[in-house]
Structure 1
Amino acid sequence: MTQRVLITGANGFVGNAVSRALLQRGDSVVGLVRRPRTAADGVLEWLFDADDFEGIGERWPVATRCDAVIHLAARVHVMRDTTADPLAAYRSTNVTGALRVAAAARRAGARRFVFVSSIKAVGEGHAGRLITEAEEPAPTDPYGISKLEAERALIEYGRESGLEIVIVRPPLVYGPGVRANFLQLMSAIAKGIPLPLGSIPARRSLVFVDNLADALVHCTTDPRAAGETFHVTDGRDLSVSELARALAKQLHAPERLIPVPVGLLRVAGRLTGHSAQIDRLIGELRLDSSHICERLGWYPPHTVEHGLLETAAWYRSTH
C-alpha cells in the first residue's frame, strides 16, 4: 500500500537518499526544506524556515496531510561549538522542535513518526561489547543528551496521543555526498598523505546511506515497527585500519598507512590537545543491529564493499 510521507530535512545527505527510496516504492513524498529546489526530483517541497519549527502547526497546509513523518532535521553534532549554552541550543531544535513537528503531524492525520536519533544518545564508551537497544544510555555531549531527551519526550507524547513512535539510532553514516570526518579521511587517502592508521584494531559500526534509507522505509511502513527502537548498521564492522585500506583500494590511491602504536597516538592526542578526537579514532564502537532483523525481517540490501565503492566513485567524480 502506497502512502504519503513527509520528511523534515529532505534536502540533506540522508534525506535525499530516503526520498529516493520512498519514491521508488511508489509513495508520494513531501519534503520540508528551508530553500526551494533543493530536494530530490519528484519530491513536493514545503518551504518552512522558522527556527526550531516554531508555529509549524498553524502553518501546516491543509492539503499536506500525510500518513507518516520521518524526522531527520536536527541541530547536528559540532566539534567546536561556540554557542554560549550549547545544551540549550541543542534542546531547542532537537527536543522542542521534534515535539512541535510530532504534534503538528498528529493533527494533520499522521499515524506514525519515525525519529532519526543517533548512537550518541546512548554514548560511546562501550569497548569490548556490542551495544544493544537495551543499553542504559549515558550520552557524553550536549548533542547526545538532546537526542536522548527527544527520544524519551516523543515516546511519552506517543503514549498520550496515540501517534506511533519509532526510534532509529544509526552510527556514522557514509555514502555519496558524505561530509565531515569521513570526507576528510577520503581526501587524505586520495592525496596519498601518510596516515598513522596502520595498527588500529578497534572496530566501529558504520551504515551506508542507502542501507539506512531502506531501513527507514521499513520503519515507516511495517506495522511491527510501532513503538520500537532500532540500531541500524551495515551488519559488518571494519577496523579503522581495514576501513582505510578499503578506501585506498576503491579510490585507486596508494596505501600509506603507518603502523603507529595506539599508546603513542594517545600520547600525541594529549600533547596536541586532541585527546577526544584520538579517543574516537582508536576507540571501539560496535552496535548490535539484530533487533531490526528479528523484528522486521530487515537486512541491509548493500554490502560494506558496495557502499565504499559507491562512495569512492562519487568522490573521484567530484573532487
Structure 2
Amino acid sequence: MILVTGATGFLGKAVLKHLLADNQAWRVAVAVRKAGQQWPEKVLPRVMGDLESYTDWSVALDDVFAVVHCAARVHVMNDAAIDPLAEFRRINVQGTLNLARQAATAGVRRFIFISSIKVNGESTQRGSPFFADGICAPLDPYGVSKMEAEQGLRDISAQTGMEVVIIRPPLVYGPGVKANFAAMMRWLKRGIPLPLGAIHNQRSLVALDNLVDLIVTCLSHPAAANQTFLVSDGEDLSTTQLLRRMGNALGKPARLIPVPASVLKLGAALVRKPELAQRLCGSLQVDISKTRELLGWRPPVSVDEGLRRAAEGYLRETVV
C-alpha cells in the first residue's frame, strides 16, 4: 500500500492518477482532511484532518510500505500570516516530522518528501547550476521550512532505518497549474504585448508528468534510498523562449517587445518589486546529472510536449 498526502492538490492528484494507471497495479490510500469527496474505486480514503504536529496517523499508515508526502503549506507571494516562518514550520516541519516518526514506527520502508529548489536558493549565475548535494541557502520562510524538514527527516532515517528520498523541483507546470504560470498563459491567450522579448536568462522548469515519473521511479528504485535529487525537463529556457514556446502551444504567437533586462530591473526597483524582476530576468538552473546517473532516469516528456499539455489543460478550463 502507498499512502499519498496532499492528494487533492496539483501534484498529489497527478501522482494518484499515475499510480492508478501504472501496470504494477499499486494499492493506494490517500490522507484526506474530511470525508465526502468521491474517489476512484481502487483508492482507499483515510480521513486524517490537518497536517499538524499532533495528528494521529495510525489509521492511515496501516499496511503502508511507502509514503509520498506532497501535502505542505505552499509558497505564497503576499503572505498574510503575522509570523510566516512560524506558520511554515508548524505544517512543513513539525507536521511532516510527526508523520515521518509515526511512519517509521508503523514499519513504512520508504518516505518520499517533495521539497523545493528554494532549499538551494533563489537564483544562480548563468551556467552555474544548483547541485543536489550542494550548499543549502534558502532565503525565504518557505525554503527555510523545507530545509529544516529535510534535516529532520534525515535524522529520523538515521535513528530508525526508514529510507528517505528527497526531491527538490523547480517551477512545476502542467494541466491545472495556477499562480504566475497560469497568468502567463492568460496574457498570451489574450494577445497582450509583453516587454519580455530580450531576456537572456536561463531557468530550469519541470513538467508535471516528468516530476510524477521521477516520484514513481523513486518508490521502488534501490539506489534512491536516502538520496536527494534535483529534477527538471533537461532543457533550460530563457523567459523570452518560454513565452514564445508557450504561445505556440496555445496557438497564440507571443507578442513580445524587446525591452532590455536592465530597464525592467530598474522599473521593478522603482515600484519596490525587485523579486518580480528576479523571477522574470534572473537565472535559476539545476543540474540533474545525479538523478540521471544514479537512477538511470530521463525526463519522458519534452518541454514542448509538457507545454502542450499545460496549454490543453488551460484551454479546457477557460472554455465558456
* TM-score, with length taken from structure 2: 0.95
Write the letter of the residue equivalent to 1:111: R
Gaps of 5+ in 2: none
* Counterpart contact for 2:88–2:142, Cα < 8 Å: yes
The C-alpha deviation readout for 1:71-91, integer Å capped at 9, x for no partner, is 110111011112111111101
The correspondence of residues 24-35 of structure 1 with structure 2, limited to 5 A, is 24-25=21-22, 26-35=25-34
Distance in 1 between residues matched to 2:48 and 2:262, nearest whole Å: 49
1:10 aligned residue (7, 10, 16): 7
Q: What is the Cα-based RMSD across aligned positions, in Å?
A: 1.5
8 Å CA contact 1:19–1:40 kept in 2: the answer is no
Counterpart residue number, 1:310: 309
CA shift at 1:315, angstroms? 1.1
Give the Cα separation in 1 of the matches to 2:108 and 2:29.
13
Aligned positions of 1:37-52 closer than 5 A: 37=37, 42-52=42-52
1: CA distance between counterparts of 2:206 and 2:314? 18
Aligned pairs for 1:52-63 (under 5 A) are 52=52, 54-57=54-57, 60-61=58-59
The AA in structure 2 aligned to 1:291 is K
Taking structure 1 as reference, are residues 199 and 16 closer, same or farther at Cα in structure 2, changes over 3 Å only?
same
SS at structure 1 position matched to 2:74: coil
Instruction: Tell whether 2:208 aligns with 1:209.
Output: yes
Three-state SS of the structure 2 residue aligned to 1:241 is helix
Does 1:118 pair with 2:116? yes
Letter in 1 for 2:202: R
Partner of 1:109: 107
Following superposition, the deviation at residue 64 of structure 1 comes to 3.0
Q: Contact between 1:31 and 1:39, CA under 8 Å: does it hold in 2?
A: no
Counterparts of 2:163 and 2:61, CA distance in 1 = 22
Deviation at 1:62, TM superposition (A): 7.5
Alpha-carbon distance, 1:47 to partner: 1.8
Q: What residue number does 1:98 align with?
A: 96
Q: Assess if the C-alpha contact under 8 Å between 2:205 and 2:232 holds in 1.
A: yes
Question: What residue is the counterpart of 1:88 in the other structure?
Answer: 86
Kept in 1, the 8 Å contact 2:201–2:282? The answer is yes
> Partner of 1:52: helix, strand, or coil?
coil
Structure-to-structure mapping, 1:75-224, within 5 angstroms: 75-128=73-126, 129-224=128-223
Q: Tell me which amino acid in the other structure corresponds to 2:248.
A: K
Structure 1 residues 302 and 117 mapped into 2: Cα distance closer, same or farther (>3 Å)?
Answer: same
Distance 2:236 2:89 in 1: 31
CA distance in structure 1 between the partners assigned to 2:220 and 2:187 by the alignment: 40
SS class of match (1:204): coil
Give the C-alpha shift of residue 48 in structure 1. Answer: 1.8
Q: How much has 1:63 moved relative to structure 2?
A: 7.8
| Aligned-partner SS, 1:238 | coil
Q: Which runs of 4+ in 1 moved over 3 A?
A: 38-42
The answer to whether the 8 Å contact 1:175/1:308 transfers is: yes
- Which residue identity does 2:42 align to in structure 1? G
Distance 2:39 2:129 in 1: 36
Q: Is the 8 A contact 2:203 2:285 kept in 1?
A: yes
Cα 1:222–1:63 change in 2 (3 A) is: closer
Identity of aligned residues (%): 44
Closer, same or farther: CA 293–39 of 1 in aligned 2, 3 Å: farther
How far apart, in 2, do the equivalents of 1:301 and 1:50 lie? 34
**Unaligned stretches of 5+ residues in structure 1:** none
Determine helix, strand or coil for the equivalent of 1:301. Answer: coil
CA distance in 1, matches of 2:44, 2:259: 51
- 1:19 counterpart = 2:16: yes
